[in-house]
Structure 1
């Protein structure tokens, strides 16, 4: 079976030349936010707003606020966020919400809603 070769993915060979720009992919539907359910986007936006509000509460310790700041980008609807990273962020947010008491309850409920929409 020598001579058989299998290749998956991009293959680029450049020999000489100037001003190479790399691979330009113009695929329809390549925008990550275009593939996300509008209900999920709305729930993420609501959760984001609630996190900003929670973070401003005096009951939230600095270390917990830092955790919220760190995971907030994983809720973005514009970036291609891997599902596992988004799930980790949601778990971290739920943990902070649970530790700050009653002021964290709306955030905990919003996290549950997002997790439900994401199917997990």
Structure 2
């Protein structure tokens, strides 16, 4: 087995020279997945429903909705846990106002289903 070489990852051998500054990888980060048209439409619908709901909840709840919207409308590459947390916050607020909030809860459930598939 003497003389067998096994390399995993980067391997650099430098013998002398000047101005050696390191390894240039020439690798790009993976592209963020594109949102499906169904997901984009569901998010647009939720945003419209939430705008109607805002006027029917207390100011603190309206502020919580406003704080959650950027995470909900973020690109598909955004952290899913953050988006899930924001969706659940909006659904919780909508559930507290009863029948008026039911369309928002249904829209959130639709988005959660699309995200999990």
Q: TM-score scaled to structure 1, two decimals?
A: 0.68
Consecutive aligned runs of 4 or more in structure 1 exceeding 3 Å deviation: 4-7, 77-80
Q: 1:105 is matched with which residue?
A: 102
The offset of 1:78, in angstroms, is: 4.5
Name structure 1 gaps, 5 residues minimum. 8-14, 16-24
The offset of 1:81, in angstroms, is: 2.1
Q: 2:80 is matched with which residue?
A: 83
Q: 2:113 is matched with which residue?
A: 116
| Aligned-partner Cα distance in 1 for 2:85–2:45 | 18
Structure number with larger C-alpha Rg: 2
CA contact (8 A) 1:40 1:114 kept: yes
Over the residues paired in the alignment, what is the CA RMSD in angstroms?
3.1
| Aligned-partner Cα distance in 2 for 1:79–1:108 | 21
Specify whether residues 117 and 79 from structure 1 end up closer, same or farther in structure 2 by C-alpha distance, changes over 3 A only.
closer
Specify whether residues 84 and 5 from structure 1 end up closer, same or farther in structure 2 by C-alpha distance, changes over 3 A only.
same
Q: TM-score scaled to structure 2, two decimals?
A: 0.69
CA contact (8 A) 2:50 2:104 kept: yes
Q: Secondary structure at the match of 1:35?
A: coil
Q: How many residues align?
A: 101
Specify whether residues 78 and 116 from structure 1 end up closer, same or farther in structure 2 by C-alpha distance, changes over 3 A only.
closer
